[in-house]
Amino acid sequence: MPKSSIHFDISERKILLRILDIVSVLSLLYMVGIVFNFDYFKINSQHWVWSIVLALYLTIFATIFELYNLQKASKFDVVVKNVIITSSVTVLFYLLTPFYTPMLPSNRLQIVYFFLAINVAMLAWRYAYIVLVSAPRFYKRVLLIAHGSDVEGIVASLQKSDPNYRVIGYFNTGPNDGTIINTLEIDAISISDIGLLTEETTISEIVVGTPLSEGMTVELNNQLIKLLEQGIPIREYTQVYEELTHRIPVKHVEKDFYRYFPFSRSNQNKLYLFFNRILDLFFSVLGLAFGMMLVPFLLIGNLLANRGPFFYSQTRVGKNGKYFRIYKLRSMVRNAEKNGAQFAEARDSRVTKFGRFLRKSRFDEIPQFINVLKGEMSVIGPRPERPEFVEDLKEKIPFYEVRHLVKPGVTGWAQVNAKYGSSDEDSLEKLQYDLYYIKHRSLFLDITIIIKTLSTIIFFRGQ
C-alpha cells in the first residue's frame, strides 16, 4: 500500500474540538485546584456531577457561539471572541444552576480564577489546533476526475466548504480541446500520470465527478481499480459534496435523482411526526408568550418608525402545494409591491429602519407561530414561498416542488445556512439545503437547526 498522508475529516475534526475543549478545561481546573488550593471547583469521585454539568454547558454554548464552525475555528481572532463569549455564558449558567454545581465560594475571587482558567485552557488548545491540525501538513489531498467544464466549479465548492480540503490535480474526462484553467493552481494530468502522481504524492482520496456514461473509459476504470486495490479511497462527487456542504447537488444528480435520493424515513415515521408536533406546539406557545412580552416595545417602535399596520399577512405555498395565509410583523413601507411581486434583497430600500431591526433579530417571524398552532407550518422546515415565485422557480430549477413534501417552517436548514434569497441562484442554493433536510430529517438535525437559529439571532444575522 502507498504511504498515505495524515488528515482529519470534517467529523473527526469536530469531534476532536469537542473532546479536547472539555479535556483542556477540566485538566487546567484540576491543576489550578492542586497548585493554588482552589476549592470552588474540585474534580474527584465525590463531585463528578460538577464536571459533567460544566462539560454539558460548555458543549452547548460552544455550539451556539460557533466554536465548531471549521471555517471560523481556523481564524484565531474569531476564536478569541467566541471563546470569551462562550466561557462567559457558560460560567454564568453554571453559577446559577442549583444542586448540581458547587456552592458559591465565600471568596468571590475564586469565581474569577474559575472564569480565567476556562478561557486560558480553551485559547491555548485552540491556538494549538490552528498551528498543528489546520496546518498544510494535515490537508486532505485529493485527485479529481471530472469534465473540464465542471472542474472549476467543483474545486471551488469543495475547498470553500472545508479549508483543509485541497484538490491537487484533475483528469479531464471531456474532449481534449487544449483549454487551460488559469484560475486554478492545479495541474491537468493524463491517465498514465494518475498512477505516477499517486506514487510520488500522498493522495488521501480520488473523487469522480462525472457520470459513468460520460468519459469514463475502460482504460480509466482499470486505472482507478488498480489504485483502489492499492488502498486509495475512490468516492463519487455527489457523496463528497453532500458530506462537506450538507446540501444536495441537484445539477449533478438529475438523471438518477430518485435512485440517489431516498427520502428520510422520519417523513413517514408516525412516532417522529407525533413528537415533532408536540415540539411544534411547545415552541409555538413559548414563542408567542415571548412575543407578548415584547408587544409594548414593538408597538412603540412601529408607531414611531413604521407608521402603519403592525401585522402583515401574505399568501404562501405550504405542504402538498396548498395555499395558506402567513402572519408576520410588517417590516416594509406600505405599498411596497405596487409594481408587482419581487424578491426582497439583502439591503432592500423598501425595508424601514425599524423593519431592518425586526428582520435582523427575526422578531418579525414571531406571529408565524400562529400558523404553526393551526398546523399550516412547522417550527422547522423549508421557507414557504409565494405562489408567484414558486410557479417561476419550478420551471427554472429541477425538483423545486420536492420541498413541498413537508410542512414549511419558521426556521430551517436553508434559513440558517444559505444567504438571503434574492435571485434564482440563491433559490437553487436554498433548495439544495432544503432537499438535504428532507433527505436526512431527524430529531438530531432538528436540534442542530434550533441551535444554529439561536446563533443567527444572537449574532443578529437575520435578513
Taking only the tens place, the pLDDT of each residue in 388-412 is 889 888 888 878 888 898 999 999 9
How high is the pLDDT of residue 180? Answer: 53
Residues 281 and 415 in one domain: yes
Query: How many domains does the chain divide into?
Result: 3
C-alpha cell recorded at residue 314: 401574505
- Residues forming beta bridges with residue 188, ordered by sequence position: 170
C-alpha–C-alpha distance, residues 15 and 26, integer Å:
17
Task: Give the end of a domain, one of 115, 133, 151.
Answer: 133
Within a domain: 255? no
Q: Tens digit of pLDDT for each residue in 192-246?
A: 777 777 766 778 888 888 765 566 778 888 888 888 887 788 888 888 888 888 8
Task: Give the end of a domain, one of 102, 133, 164.
Answer: 133
Q: CB–CB of 170/201 below 8 Å? A: no
pLDDT at 255 over 60: no
Residues 149 and 204 in one domain: yes
Read off the pLDDT of each residue in 161-169 and give the average, rounded to a whole number: 79
Within a domain: 444? yes
CATH of the domain at 220: 3.40.50.1380
Within a domain: 253? no
pLDDT at 345 over 80: no
Residue 249: CB atoms within 10 A of its CB come to 21
Within a domain: 191? yes
Residues 175 and 89 in one domain: no
How high is the pLDDT of residue 322? Answer: 94
Task: Give the end of a domain, one of 107, 133, 159.
Answer: 133
How high is the pLDDT of residue 356? Answer: 87
β-strands 409-411, 378-380: how paired?
Answer: parallel
Read off the pLDDT of each residue in 417-432 and give the average, rounded to a whole number: 79
Q: Name 308's Cβ contacts closer than 8 Å, sequence gap at least 6.
A: 302, 330, 333, 334
C-alpha–C-alpha distance, residues 33 and 459, integer Å:
35
Within a domain: 254? no
Residues 300 and 374 in one domain: yes
Within a domain: 39? yes
Q: What is the pTM of this model?
A: 0.78
C-alpha–C-alpha distance, residues 279 and 281, integer Å:
5
Residues 293 and 380 in one domain: yes
C-alpha cell recorded at residue 371: 400558523
β-strands 311-317, 323-329: how paired?
Answer: antiparallel
Q: CB–CB of 263/439 below 8 Å? A: yes
Within a domain: 430? yes
C-alpha–C-alpha distance, residues 41 and 58, integer Å:
15
Within a domain: 259? no
State the residue range of the domain holding 58. Answer: 10-133
177-181, Cβ contacts within 8 angstroms, sequence gap of 24 or more: 177/148, 179/148, 181/148, 181/151, 181/152
Question: How high is the mean pLDDT of the chain?
Answer: 83
Residues 288 and 401 in one domain: yes
- Distances in Å between the Cα of 199 and the Cα atoms of 1, 196, 202 are 10, 5, 7
Residues 172 and 304 in one domain: no
Residues 103 and 166 in one domain: no
Residues 221 and 349 in one domain: no
Residues 303 and 380 in one domain: yes
Residues 304 and 236 in one domain: no
Residues 317 and 422 in one domain: yes
